[in-house]
Structure 1
Amino acid sequence: MHPIAWALAATLLILVLGVGAVRLLQDRFIYAPTREAPELDEPALARVSAGTITTEDGLRLLTWSMPPQRADAPVVLYLHGNGGNLGDRRRRLGRFAALGWGAQMVEWRGYGGNAGHPSEAGLLRDARAGLAALQAQGHAAGRIVVWGESLGTAVAVALAAERHGAIGAVVLELPFTSLLDLAALHFPWLPAPRLLLRDRFDSLATIPGVTVPVLILSGERDILVPPWMGEALEGAATAPVERWVKPDAGHEELTTEGGFAVVTEFLARRLDLR
């Protein structure tokens, strides 16, 4: 075989193997769970209790819940990112507690000791169960804030778009436009990612359906989810949107770099907190 033909054949083989690996192992690229159950082991989390909720497809999921200290305080439905488990978000609960807010952190299926396997449809079912639990506890819709982190932002957008009138505001921390856009950005050699990816998490297409105020938080130096994706979501939204970009922040630094204060001020105005 001619050397050029050998090179073309080798390139094609590598491409086919790469595409096959992505199709078979894509869940490992998208979801990075810590499967062990986290523990509530900090004095600052004394108001937090571990419990379970049941999804519409029958899974029992771990939740960490904390009641608000005042009837007019926000209650955050927190939907975390693709890595780790709830234990990596203890500091968030401590911040919520210090402000007197309530919170419900939902542990995804397949994470933190939960049964099941994560998927786009499955995570949305998990979020629905978390919202239903807050509603069953009697929290007013105008006080419920859906806060999504990274991958959780796509679930937050989908939940807010389908549950009109059930929430008061949405916070999107490090949001992306869609998983297809992320695949094109980080795996440019992939042909036709639209045909390869089962889970799409297409927030750009979904966010026009959100009717409550939205806050978008991005880091200017985020190399995983570039800030232009937050700008694109802002442009596609039809509800009131505010956007904050931290110039020197990456993908995991926003809440320690002023982001929490921005969220607090946003909610004080949008939810008319006193």
Structure 2
Amino acid sequence: MATVSLSSAALGGLLVAGGLGAALYAFQDRLIYFPDPTPPPSPAQLGLAEVRAVELRTADGLAVLAWKLPPARPDAPVLLYLHGNGGSLLHRASRMQRFRELGWGVLLVQWRGYGGNPGSPSETGLAEDARAGLQALQAAGYAASRIVAWGESLGTAPAIRLAAERPEALGGVVLESPFTSMLDLARLHYPLLPSALLLRDRYDSLSRIGAVRAPVLILQGARDTLVPPSMGRALADAASASVEIWEAPGAGHNELGLAGGIEAAAAFLAARLPPH
């Protein structure tokens, strides 16, 4: 019987690759989630006098911090804002201020493991946090036709999942720099690794967006090097609901707010949400 032998260089390469894969599997959360663990200042300390810090109770027993801003008008949108993978509520204070100027209501949910919140972030955990936010808005009496799920980067995946699970509970969905799945991103940025074998949190938005019924706005930057705009277009192609894409020609991943994305969302919501 013929035998096959490996050179020492090839064997060393396999061992290195195996060790790297094991390390990535063990520490992959550090490549996905970048929480600021420090509790944020109170909204009042940041000049957000109308905003209140509230506590959301999740179905799995956690109490997570959120910021709540009431709408200035009965016909204003009420955003369930699901933030990205970095920072804390503190890093969304300027965004909250912009929403306040528009008169919108907002519930800005801070993920578990972020900003002093208990727990550790995960795909299933973030889905629970998003559900707790929706339940809080429903308990406050806001009509489904006024509630808009706004996902920012990583937050687009829980937003899509929630909108697919509860299609009757939302009047609109805004996706800021959305991606098709975490697996697609891993394959894009780490092409030599067996991502399909290593990745735990898949965030497969592409398989879920077809169940969304509310109108969708996709905000993306043409110069986004983290999430290519082609992923937003793929989500739009897979959607069953009405989808509009707004693309900023010169913007990268984190620049859409300054590039006119909020104004684009305001126009979209004014046209799409039914009259009160």
TM range, smaller chain:
over 0.9
Where does 1:50-89 land on structure 2 (aligned, <5 Å)?
Answer: 50-89=53-92
Per the normalisation by structure 1, the TM-score is 0.96
Q: Tell me how large the CA RMSD over aligned residues is.
A: 1.0
Aligned counterparts of 1:234 and 1:164: Cα–Cα separation in 2? 17
Shift of 1:6: 1.9
Aligned counterparts of 2:275 and 2:46: Cα–Cα separation in 1? 28
**Unpaired segments of 5 or more residues in structure 2?**
1-5
Quick check: 1:48–1:64 contact (8 Å CA) kept in 2? yes
Quick check: 2:145–2:274 contact (8 Å CA) kept in 1? no
Shift of 1:42: 2.3
The residue type paired with residue 191 of structure 2 is P
1:214 corresponds in structure 2 to 216
Report whether the alignment pairs 1:20 with 2:14. no
2:264 corresponds in structure 1 to 262
Where does 1:113-128 land on structure 2 (aligned, <5 Å)?
Answer: 113-128=116-131
Aligned counterparts of 1:46 and 1:241: Cα–Cα separation in 2? 35
Aligned counterparts of 2:172 and 2:94: Cα–Cα separation in 1? 22
Aligned counterparts of 1:217 and 1:74: Cα–Cα separation in 2? 18
Quick check: 2:181–2:206 contact (8 Å CA) kept in 1? yes
Aligned counterparts of 1:254 and 1:247: Cα–Cα separation in 2? 10
Report whether the alignment pairs 1:129 with 2:132. yes
Q: Secondary structure at the match of 1:70?
A: coil
The residue type paired with residue 109 of structure 1 is R
Q: Choose the corresponding residue for 2:251, options 249, 252, 256.
A: 249
1:49 corresponds in structure 2 to 52
2:3 corresponds in structure 1 to none
Quick check: 1:216–1:242 contact (8 Å CA) kept in 2? yes
The residue type paired with residue 106 of structure 1 is V
Quick check: 1:73–1:273 contact (8 Å CA) kept in 2? no
**Unpaired segments of 5 or more residues in structure 1?**
none
Quick check: 1:221–1:249 contact (8 Å CA) kept in 2? yes
2:12 corresponds in structure 1 to 10
1:233 corresponds in structure 2 to 235
The residue type paired with residue 257 of structure 2 is T
The residue type paired with residue 29 of structure 1 is L
Aligned counterparts of 1:150 and 1:160: Cα–Cα separation in 2? 16
Shift of 1:36: 0.9
Aligned counterparts of 1:127 and 1:272: Cα–Cα separation in 2? 24
Number of residues of Structure 1 aligned to a counterpart in Structure 2? 269
1:204 corresponds in structure 2 to 206
Shift of 1:272: 3.7
Q: Secondary structure at the match of 2:253?
A: coil
> Could you give the per-residue CA deviations for residues 13-44 of structure 1, whole angstroms, max 9, x where no partner exists?
1110110011100111111100111112222x
> Could you give the per-residue CA deviations for residues 71-101 of structure 1, whole angstroms, max 9, x where no partner exists?
1110000000000111100011101100111
Q: Secondary structure at the match of 1:156?
A: helix
Shift of 1:273: 5.4
Q: Secondary structure at the match of 1:256?
A: coil
Q: Structure 1 pair 239/209, CA: closer, same or farther in 2 (3 Å)? A: same
Q: Secondary structure at the match of 1:221?
A: coil
Shift of 1:51: 1.1
Shift of 1:52: 0.2
Q: Secondary structure at the match of 1:69?
A: coil
Aligned counterparts of 2:186 and 2:223: Cα–Cα separation in 1? 19
Aligned counterparts of 1:57 and 1:69: Cα–Cα separation in 2? 33
